[in-house]
A and B are shown apart, each in its own frame.
Chain A
Amino acid sequence: MVDLVSIGVSGLGAYQRALATTSNNIANLQTEGYVRQRAVIESAGQDNLSRVSLGNGARFTEVQRLYDRFAEENLQRASSSLKGEEALLKELQSLQDSIGSSEAGLHGAFQAFFDAARDLEAAPASPGSRAGFLAAAEGLSARFRGLGTAVETLDGTTRTQVDQAVSEINTLLGEIASLNTQLVKRASDSEQPMQLLDRRDAALKALSEGLGVTVELGPSGAATVFAGESASGVALVENGRARTMTVTFDPYDFGKAEFVLDAASQPVVLANVRTGTLGGLVNFRGQALGPTADKLDELALAFGREVNKLHRQGLDSLGRPGQDVFYVGPDFVVDGRANAGTSRLGVEVVNSNAVDARSYEMRFDASRNIWTLRDLKTGSSVQGTNNLVMGGLKFSIQGTPRDGDTYRITPESHPATTFRTLIKEGAEVASAAKLVTKAALRNFGTSSADIHLSEARAAETFRSISDLLPKSVPLGEQSFTRNVPLRDDTLVTANATPIAVIPAGYSKVALSTSAAGGELAIFTRDGRQLAGPAMAASVVRAANGFHADATYSDDYLNKTGANGYLDQSLVFGVSQVPGSQLDIDGNRVLTPAKIFGGVVDLAGFTAGDTVDLQINGETVSITVPTPVTLTGLASAINTHKASTKAIAETTTDGKLVFKSYHEIVVPSASLNNTSSITLSGVAFTVAAAQLAGRTPAQYLRDAINATESGVTASVSSAGALVLTNSEGAAGEPIVIGSNTVGLTSQTYFNDRNLSIGVPSTESASVLRSLGLRNGFVMNAALAEDLLVFGVNNQGLAASVYLSGSYEAGSVPATLAPDAREYKLRFESGNYSLVDIATNTEVAAGVFDTTTRAVQYGNWTVSLSGIPADLDEYTIQPTDEPLGDNRIAAALANLQGNRAMLASKQTVQQEYENLVNRVGAITVQAEIAKDAQQVVFDHAREGRDQISGVNLDEELADLLRYQQAYQANAQVIQVANRLFDSLLQRL
Chain B
Amino acid sequence: MRVSTSMIFQGLTDKLANNAADMAQLQSQIATGNNYATPSDAADIVGRVQAVESRLKTLEADTKAVTRVKVGVDAQARALEIAAEVMDRLKEIAFRGANDPQPQAVLETLAEEVAGIKRSLVDLANMRDADDRYVFGGARSGEIPYVLNADGSVTYEGSTSPLRVRVNDASYEDASVPGVSVWKSIPRDGEAVDMFSILTSYENALRSGAVEGRQQGLRDVEALSNNVGLAIAKTGAAQQRLEISERQAQETAIRAQKSLADLKELDFAAALAQLQKQELLMQASQSLLGRLSQLSLLDSIR
Contacts and interface: CB of A to CB of B under 8 A. Distances in A.
B1 A438 contact: no
A913 B184 CA distance: 51
B161 A115 contact: no
B143 A889 contact: no
A442 B57 contact: no
A916 B161 CA distance: 42
B65 A955 contact: no
A602 interface: no
Given A442-B192, A448-B138, A450-B161, A108 B6 contact: no
A807 interface: no
B4 A885 contact: no
Contact of A885 (B48, B143, B165, B296): B165
B156 A97 contact: no
Contacts of B132: 125
B22 to A, nearest CB: 13
A781 interface: no
Given A923-B44, A955-B301, A443 B180 contact: yes
A97 B5 contact: no
B142 A880 contact: yes
A100 interface: yes
Nearest to B37: A97
A955 B302 CA distance: 12
Contacts of A436: 139-140, 159, 161
B5 A945 contact: no
Given A437-B160, A438-B156, A950-B3, A884 B301 contact: no
A883 B4 CA distance: 82
A952 B160 contact: no
A194 to B, nearest CB: 18
B192 A868 contact: yes
A105 interface: yes
Contacts of A111: 53-54, 57-58
Contact of A438 (B44, B45, B154, B157): B157
Contact of B141 (A125, A444, A449, A944): A125
Interface in B169-203: 169, 175-178, 180-181, 184-185, 187, 191-194, 196-197
Contacts of A950: 2-5
B51 A96 contact: no
A235 interface: no
Nearest to B39: A100
Contact of B296 (A448, A451, A908, A951): A951
B44 A114 contact: no
A122 B187 contact: no
A945 B47 contact: no
Contact of B194 (A92, A442, A912, A944): A442
Contact of B161 (A29, A122, A448): A448
B120 interface: no
A110 interface: yes
A126 interface: yes
Interface stretch (A416-424, A583-591, A700-708, A890-898): A890-898
B7 A443 contact: no
A441 interface: yes
A439 B156 contact: yes
Contacts of B65: 118, 121-122
B50 interface: yes
Nearest to A909: B51
Give chain B's interface secondary structure class: mixed
A450 B140 CA distance: 12
A76 B155 CA distance: 90
B199 to A, nearest CB: 12
Contacts of A923: 43-44
B298 A955 contact: yes
A446 B181 contact: yes
Interface in B1-23: 1-7, 10-11, 14
Interface centre among A97, A112, A432, A959 (most CB of B within 10 A): A97
Interface in B270-302: 296-298, 301
B232 interface: no
Contacts of B118: none
A922 B43 contact: yes
A883 B166 contact: no
A439 B68 contact: no
A910 to B, nearest CB: 11
A934 to B, nearest CB: 11
Contact of A959 (B2, B50, B301): B301
Interface centre among A122, A436, A937, A941 (most CB of B within 10 A): A122
Contacts of B156: 438-439, 441
Contacts of A661: none
Nearest to A118: B61
Given A97-B38, A955-B298, A449 B47 contact: no
Contacts of A96: 39-40, 43, 46
B69 A100 contact: no
B247 interface: no
Interface in B126-178: 131-134, 137-143, 154-166, 169, 175-178
Contact of A920 (B44, B166, B301): B44
Contacts of A221: none
B296 A952 contact: yes
B64 interface: yes
A156 B131 CA distance: 51
A94 B40 CA distance: 7
A948 interface: yes
A941 B7 contact: yes
Given A436-B140, A949-B6, A444 B133 contact: no
A776 interface: no
Contacts of A439: 156, 160, 178, 180
Interface in A914-945: 915-916, 918-920, 922-923, 926, 937, 940-941, 944-945
A107 B54 contact: yes
Given A919-B44, A919-B47, A883 B142 contact: yes
A800 interface: no
A29 B6 CA distance: 8
B169 to A, nearest CB: 7
Contacts of A110: 54
Contacts of B133: 123, 125, 883
Contacts of B192: 442-445, 868, 870-871
A896 B44 contact: no
A436 B155 CA distance: 16
A439 B137 CA distance: 12
Contact of A944 (B7, B60, B142, B185): B7
Contacts of A438: 156-160
Contact of A107 (B50, B64, B181): B50
B49 interface: yes
A101 interface: yes
A882 interface: yes
Contact of B47 (A100, A886, A949, A952): A100
Contact of B54 (A442, A896, A908): A908
A559 to B, nearest CB: 33
Contacts of B159: 436-438, 884
A105 B38 CA distance: 12
16 contacts: A101-B46, A102-B49, A114-B58, A118-B166, A121-B65, A124-B142, A433-B139, A436-B139, A442-B185, A886-B139, A908-B51, A913-B47, A915-B39, A920-B43, A940-B10, A955-B297
Given A29-B5, A96-B46, A122-B175, 17 more contacts: A92-B43, A111-B57, A124-B142, A433-B139, A439-B178, A443-B192, A446-B184, A880-B142, A885-B165, A912-B51, A916-B44, A916-B47, A919-B39, A922-B40, A940-B7, A948-B4, A952-B5
Interface of A: 29-30, 92-94, 96-97, 99-102, 105, 107-108, 110-112, 114-115, 118-119, 121-126, 432-433, 436-439, 441-446, 448-451, 868, 870-871, 873, 878, 880, 882-886, 889, 892-893, 895-896, 908-909, 911-913, 915-916, 918-920, 922-923, 926, 937, 940-941, 944-946, 948-953, 955-956, 959
